[in-house]
Every structure is written in structure tokens, then in C-alpha cells.
């Protein structure tokens, strides 16, 4: 048994705003733990047979959110893995309840200026398309941060290499697992 064995017992669900690194850090976290990696957005696109911007444009955000809930529900039935959720997934009461029941949730949090710079590089995010990224992120943070705060763990990431964020998450998970259940 290696030191990461206890961390492999449950799915690790990464939550947080767009651009925080849920997918890129999640892949590296999964690799470090020798766990499969699942990206909810990729799984939604596969299930729908179209891109997320197309889903938003053709069907609207409510339809996307319902598909997201169904896909995450299915993914949480799989054996333990690292799951990158979409930024709005944890906002859904049912999805949040399922994540709390079947996974360890990790809120990745970074300075909004850093996130705005990251997501401003490409125009593929429907919630930001044609808008000021910092303004959108500020508005999202106001409504989402109180809900993200319900995650089991919060890890502040900065503008550091991904391996630094992975190390921070591994330490936070290890500490969380050592804490007595409440």
C-alpha cells in the first residue's frame, strides 16, 4: 500500500469557476494518483453529439444543465476517479448532493484576474462569449462562491505550475481524510 491508497477510495470531484484548472490540474492529479480522469464537459459533448457552445446556442443553458446533471450522476456511479465538473455543475442542488454523497469535493479557487486572463485567451465559453471576462467572473463568484464553499476541501491555486496545485490538492486530501467525521 502506498501513501496515496486512501486517496483512491472515492471519486475526487473538482469544482470551481471556469479557467481555474479543473481539467488540466485534474488530469495531472489523476495521473499522480493512478486513477482514471473524467471531464464532465467532454462527457456531455460526447453524449449530446455536439459541442457545449452548440448545446447552449441550440437548446439553451437549462437544457445543458439538465444534461450535465444526468452525465455527472452517471459518472458518479463509476469506480473512483478524478472528475472535473463544469463551473456551474455544483450549483445544482441534486448534483451537489450526489457529489457530497459519492465523492470528495475539492473547490479550486484562484484570483479572478488570473482566471479572466486565462479564459480571455479563447472565445469558446458560452457564458463569456462577447463579454468582459472579469465582469462575468465577478458576477459568477458572487453567486457561486457561497455554494462552492460547501465543498469538502478548498484549495487556493495561483498562477503556479500545475504540479504545485496537484501537490496542494494531495496535501489537502490527506489532511481531510485524517480529520474525524462530523
Buried b (16+ CB within 10 A) or exposed e, 114-128: bbbebbeeeeebebb
Section 10-28 average pLDDT: 95
Q: What pLDDT sits at residue 180?
A: 64
Nearest to 27 by CA among 81, 72, 77, 69: 81
* pLDDT band (50, 70, 90) for residue 182: very low
Packing angle between helix 40-48 and helix 52-59, nearest 10 degrees? 60
* Reported pTM: 0.92
Q: What pLDDT sits at residue 123?
A: 62
- Residue that wins the pLDDT comparison between 90 and 120: 90
pLDDT tens digit sequence for 127-161: 677 788 899 999 999 999 999 999 999 999 888 88
Q: What pLDDT sits at residue 162?
A: 87
pLDDT tens digit sequence for 28-55: 999 999 999 999 999 999 999 999 889 9
- At residue 181, does pLDDT exceed 70? no
- Residue that wins the pLDDT comparison between 119 and 17: 17
Q: What pLDDT sits at residue 132?
A: 85
Q: Minimum mean pLDDT among 17-26, 78-87, 139-148, 170-179: which range?
A: 170-179
Q: What pLDDT sits at residue 122?
A: 66
User: How far is it between the farthest Cα atoms of the chain?
Assistant: 50
Q: What pLDDT sits at residue 173?
A: 95
Q: Could you say which DSSP state residue 89 is in? A: G
C-alpha cell at 133: 471576462
Residue 143 contacts residue 95 (beta carbons within 8 Å) = no
Amino acid at each position: 500500500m502506498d501513501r496515496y491508497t486512501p486517496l483512491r477510495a472515492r471519486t475526487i470531484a473538482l469544482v470551481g469557476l471556469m479557467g481555474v484548472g479543473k481539467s488540466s490540474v485534474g488530469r495531472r492529479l489523476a495521473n499522480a494518483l493512478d486513477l482514471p480522469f473524467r471531464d464532465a464537459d467532454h462527457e456531455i459533448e460526447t453524449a449530446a453529439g455536439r459541442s457545449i457552445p452548440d448545446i447552449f446556442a441550440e437548446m439553451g443553458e437549462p437544457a445543458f444543465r439538465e444534461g450535465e446533471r444526468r452525465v455527472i450522476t452517471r459518472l458518479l456511479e463509476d469506480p473512483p476517479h478524478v472528475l472535473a465538473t463544469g463551473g456551474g455543475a455544483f450549483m445544482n442542488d441534486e448534483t451537489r448532493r450526489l457529489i457530497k454523497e459519492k465523492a470528495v469535493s475539492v473547490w479550486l479557487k484562484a484570483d479572478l484576474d488570473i482566471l479572466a486572463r486565462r479564459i480571455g485567451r479563447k472565445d469558446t465559453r458560452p457564458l463569456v462569449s462577447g463579454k468582459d471576462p472579469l465582469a462575468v467572473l465577478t458576477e459568477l463568484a458572487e453567486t457561486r462562491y457561497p455554494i462552492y464553499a460547501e465543498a469538502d476541501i478548498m484549495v487556493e491555486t495561483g498562477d503556479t505550475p500545475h504540479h504545485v496545485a496537484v501537490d496542494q490538492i494531495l496535501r489537502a486530501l490527506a489532511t481531510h481524510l485524517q480529520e474525524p467525521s462530523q
